[in-house]
Amino acid sequence: MSSACETSLPVRDYNLEATMSSGQVFAWERVAENWVGVVNGRWVTLRQAAEAIVVRTAEPQAEWSWLAEFLQSELDLRAVLATFPKGDPHLHAAVATCHGLRLLRQDPWECLASFILSSTKQIVQIQQIVRTLRERYGERLRAPAGQRAAFAFPTAQRLAALTEAELRDCKMGFRAPYLLATARRIVAGEFVPEALRNLPVPEARARLTALPGVGEKIADCVLLFAYGFPTAFPVDVWVARALSTFYFRNRRVRPERLRRFADRHFGPNAGYAQQYLFHHIRTQRG
DNA sequence: GACCAGGACCATT
DNA sequence: AATGGTCATGGT
């Protein structure tokens, strides 16, 4: 029952590097052996060990369930992979090249806001915009002595109070009015992120796509990365290209049809399959 | 310089 | 229902 700033979460089949680099989070930074970021308003560093993730926080923690939830460290990955279709060489190859790739369970608001900023942006640019937002408008968090200060992702309340010009100055371009309007809907109580947790997927998706700047793709990212709906299947340009190449003889197929194919072909954890394919084609390009 | 990036939205067929 | 143009910004 002791409080400590360090712990070790036992894990199996967990590839922290691949997970943090797979385009689901944009606010984590690699510093030497560690990944530095913020979870639930707490400064955290993570380091991969053989059968554990070694954790350090700035302030003593009485318990660590909040972090196990974010990392999904207690999920049995082999049980997930066992639901993948047998005899799919493309999916099999993707799994084989990124052993231990995981889906995180992010804060819904940060995930929603980040992916509103993601449209037709490269991942490095999304990271840059998010960093600027955090440093200008996020809460400054206490870090251990000798460590750089960290900044939480700004709250919806904080962003809702800004002007469109202030957001555009963070280099987000035409996405600024989308982010601003969505933040203001949350502040007005017209969109309640927590209310989506226990909804059927189609209903949750409909509420997300009703937000400005949120279409089917971004909605599925939030459903998968924040709410953990395992059938959500974001179809971006990379995934569309991969599915078209692997399963449709290079024909151009509409995203809606690709999602229906994925639901049928990949099964109850199609979202996980999507993440493996996405990471695979992005790391094997060239 | 041309082309593209974890798209969404609107006007036009 | 289905295409095409437009919206900023930065990397390759």
CA of A240: nearest nucleotide by C1' is B6
Establish if A265 belongs to a structural domain.
yes
**Rounded Cα–Cα distance for residues A223 and A218 (Å):** 9
CA of A275: nearest nucleotide by C1' is B6
CATH number of the CATH domain containing A189 = 1.10.340.30
The answer to whether the beta carbons of residues A57 and A42 sit under 8 Å apart is yes
CA of A173: nearest nucleotide by C1' is C8
Establish if A68 belongs to a structural domain.
yes
Q: Please, which residues have CB within 8 angstroms of residue A266's CB and are 6 or more apart in sequence? A: A84, A85, A91, A233, A273, A274
Establish if A276 belongs to a structural domain.
yes
Closest residue to B9 (CA, C1′):
A213
Q: What separation in angstroms does the CA of A85 have from each of A94, A241, A267, A269? A: 13, 20, 7, 10
What pLDDT score does A286 carry? 42
Kindly state whether residues A138 and A219 are assigned to the same domain. yes
In the chain, the amino acid numbered A56 is R
Establish if A182 belongs to a structural domain.
yes
CATH number of the CATH domain containing A51 = 3.30.310.40
Q: What separation in angstroms does the CA of A197 have from each of A142, A180, A222? A: 31, 23, 11
The answer to whether the beta carbons of residues A114 and A26 sit under 8 Å apart is yes
CB of A125 lies under 7 Å from some atom of strand C: yes
Establish if A186 belongs to a structural domain.
yes
Establish if A1 belongs to a structural domain.
no
Closest CA to A7 of A225, A101, A42: A42
Closest residue to B6 (CA, C1′):
A236
* Share of residues in chain A with pLDDT > 90 (%): 95
Give the CA A32 to C1' B10 distance in Å: 47
Structural domain span for residue A286: 77-100+230-286
Number of domains in chain A: 3
- Those nucleotides of strand C lying less than 7 Å from any protein Cβ are 2-3, 7-12
Low-confidence ranges of chain A (pLDDT < 70): 1-2, 285-286
Task: Write the pLDDT tens digit of every residue in A102-158.
Answer: 999 999 999 999 999 999 999 999 999 999 999 999 999 999 888 888 999 999 999
Kindly state whether residues A93 and A23 are assigned to the same domain. no
